[in-house]
Amino acid sequence: MSDADTILEEGPRDFIREIIRADLAAGRAQSVVTRFPPEPNGYLHVGHVKSICLNFGIAEEFGGRCHLRFDDTNPVKEEQEYIDSIQENVRWLGFDWGEHLYYASDYFEQLYEWAEHLIREGKAYVDDLSVDEIRARRGTFTEPGENSPFRDRSVEENMDLFRRMRAGEFKDGEKVLRAKIDMASGNINLRDPVMYRILHASHPRTGDAWCIYPTYDFTHGQSDAIEHITHSICTLEFEDHRPLYDWYIENLPVPSRPRQYEFSRLNLSHTVVSKRRLIQLVREGHVRGWDDPRMPTISGMRRRGYPPAALRDFARGVGVTKAENVIEISYLEHCVRDVLNKTAERRMAVLNPLKVVIENYPEGEAEELEAVNNPEDPAAGTRRVPFGRELYIEREDFMEEPPRKFFRLAPGREVRLRYAYFITCQEAIKNDAGEVVELRCTYDPATRGGDAPDGRKVKGTLHWVSADHALRGEVRLYDHLFARPDPGAEGDFTQDINSDSLAVVEDCLMEPALAGTTVGEAIQFERQGYFCLDPDSTPEKPVFNRTVGLRDSWAKIQAKDRVKR
């Protein structure tokens, strides 16, 4: 079997890949060229992850290439900050466009020439109607549109006006260039769409060279043709635009004939992915910026500690279909846990400390115990953890009057300290308010390492840190940004923001090995969840973000479903 046959037979299967296999087998395409074409007017979000993985993934699978192209046709909303962040995040996800970085603004002169071509062919005209007037005459899904009174201008007049538009003779909104197609078309997108509008605004790349800018619909397909894109893959909201995409391709002397294919966009529960809503969250201060770990932006997920491999796994697991659906955010979290369980080293940290004094441990002495870095990865090795007379455990790991199924520490009860010894609580010390502030315990020196030589068993194993060696830091506990799975379903989406989406815990105590953690590094705090070091950290005060907890609700649901079947 040849390499080409192997490509056609192996790999993921979905309707887009089947189209590509068929095109290659039939010779309709000699190679595969895709593109990821973001508009640089915001940060990439989780919905873009699916598109990035699909376009770059297909190119890799079929031995082709994927371009990164910025569709930068609206200088009013575009910023270099967005361009830089998009490139950084695509690379972080694990993809590279090589030398194939393009901008629609690279093609402004060619697009202008093609616009004049349509004018000469009698297929475009300059319209003096305002945006509101054009909208009012557009018609409805059941009523045809109404021709503009300027639709029948001569070729000469249209050419003169269009060139004067370019020369800057008219004000913003005073005139537009429209394609002359069919105001009675059943597809509203074909009712003489606007091709150029006047915008006296400086462009991030072309500066003040232009005061007229092409619309997205006129730019997109022609940019694909210039770059010889073979398969133009986009989301379903562009399905109704495909006839217009094809009309421009068929009526212009373009160098290639790309085809557009649509798939369902990614909708995630407890999340908004509308760029307008994300901008609102940032501008109104509901979050701390585009990279707030509660945001569904790639920058936010990255800061929260989501590994790129998990996002790729998530995109692969979601699949590619035409069916609109909502993916449970618990599945994304499952993918994150699955990767971090294999890769994150384990450490101990106490978020709500309760002091423990081991009365029969020698005063002034300390020792080092061996702890496993990652039980899923023997190659990760071990570390040394200091142990002494005074320790801290989680306050919730002690109860004076425990219920029947509480297996942690209580008066007279013996538990295991992780990697250390068995201890028994002898006394709980209280303050004047009756609150427990300290535990007096004893330990069994023969149980070093966590096992008793006489074979006795304990049901509870607690994490801990040594009081004399603990590193103090801050922990930020993140939860879903929205309390309901469908934000805005019953009104203003900001009213559905989860008031408990962030809890900041000061003065947490951590084992000293965490002092060597680097920003973004994934760590499992044993029994607590997965965390990563935040850029706000300083050597004196590390700040850890909770990436995700240890409980996997999605996996439990899947297990129950399998049992039912």
Positions annotated as catalytic residues are 39, 265, 275
Strand partners, 503: 477
Strand bridging mode 65-70 / 212-214: unpaired
CA atoms of 545 and 475, how far apart (whole Å) = 6
Cβ–Cβ < 8 Å for 384, 419: no
CA atoms of 486 and 466, how far apart (whole Å) = 45
Amino acid (one-letter) located at 3 = D
> CA torsion, points 180, 149, 167, 205, in degrees to nearest 10?
-50
CA atoms of 150 and 68, how far apart (whole Å) = 39
CA atoms of 565 and 562, how far apart (whole Å) = 5
CA atoms of 20 and 58, how far apart (whole Å) = 9
CA atoms of 65 and 102, how far apart (whole Å) = 13
CA atoms of 419 and 464, how far apart (whole Å) = 10
Return the sign of the alpha-carbon dihedral for residues 432, 433, 434, 437.
Answer: negative
Tokens at 269, concatenated: 């529960």
For residue 106, what are the CA distances in angstroms to 56, 223, 292? 22, 9, 33
| 401 Cβ contact list (under 8 Å, min separation 6) | 410
Strand, coil or helix: 367: strand
Q: Which of 82, 4, 9 is nearest to 39 (CA)?
A: 82
For the chain, first and last CA: distance in Å?
A: 39
Q: Whose structure tokens read 């920058």?
A: 299
- What are the DSSP E strand ranges found in 110-253? 124-127, 176-179, 194-198, 212-214, 231-235
Q: Which of 271, 286, 266, 310 is nearest to 530 (CA)?
A: 310
Q: Whose structure tokens read 């039912």?
A: 564
Return the sign of the alpha-carbon dihedral for residues 125, 126, 128, 132.
Answer: positive
For residue 411, what are the CA distances in angstroms to 91, 354, 393, 421? 54, 14, 15, 17
Other C-beta atoms closer than 10 Å to the C-beta of 356 total 24
Alpha-carbon 208 to chain mean position: 34
Strand bridging mode 33-36 / 465-466: unpaired
Strand, coil or helix: 354: strand
